[in-house]
Structure formats: structure tokens, C-alpha cells
């Protein structure tokens, strides 16, 4: 079974001449799934299209705490 990982994605949102910096943590199985989740979330919250979102870094971060 696949293990869910946590990814930290940083980047910029270019909207109406402004450049908004963001840092978001998303749980996903793969890096590609995390990016898709970010695009969906930013589009839903900010009405941003994919070309307005500039991804700078995607890094996997360790889960804190033990699971039984």
C-alpha cells in the first residue's frame, strides 16, 4: 500500500499586476498529485489560472509523530 507524504510547495501568484508569495503544505502520494492539488486549491480560493501560478520549490517534508 502507498504511503501518504507531505509536500511543502513555495511559489508566487501573479494576479492583477501583483506578485503574491505563498507557501503551502499538501498531503499527497506523489509530487505530481501535490502540484495538482495546489492548482485546484489556488484556483478555487483565488480564481487563479495555472499560468498565473509560478512554482519555485517542491520539497517532501517528514511527518511528525508516530502512527500506530
Express each pLDDT in 12-60 by its tens digit: 999 888 899 999 999 999 999 999 999 999 999 999 999 999 999 999 9
Buried residues in 3-38 as b, exposed as e (16+ CB within 10 A): eebebebebebeeeeeeeeeeeebebeeeeebbebb
Q: Is residue 41 part of a domain?
A: yes
Domain presence at residue 66: no
Supply the CATH number for residue 18's domain: 3.10.20.10
Report which of 13, 11, 18 is spatially closest to residue 44, judged by C-alpha positions.
Answer: 13
Number of folded domains that form the chain:
1
Give the domain extent around 47: 5-61
Grid coordinates given for 30: 506523489
Q: Is the pLDDT of residue 63 over 90?
A: no
For residue 19, tell me if it sits in a domain. Answer: yes
The reply to whether 25 falls in a domain is yes
pTM of the prediction? Answer: 0.84
Q: Is residue 17, in this structure, part of any structural domain at all?
A: yes
Torsion of CA 26, 29, 32, 34, to 10 degrees: -10
In a domain, 68, yes or no: no
Amino acid at each position: 500500500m502507498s504511503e501518504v507524504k507531505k509536500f511543502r510547495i513555495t511559489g508566487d501568484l501573479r494576479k492583477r499586476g501583483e506578485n503574491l508569495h505563498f507557501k503551502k503544505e499538501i498531503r499527497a502520494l506523489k509530487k505530481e498529485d501535490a502540484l495538482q492539488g495546489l492548482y485546484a486549491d489556488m484556483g478555487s480560493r483565488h480564481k487563479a489560472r495555472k499560468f498565473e501560478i509560478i512554482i519555485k520549490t517542491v520539497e517532501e517534508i517528514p511527518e511528525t509523530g508516530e502512527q500506530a
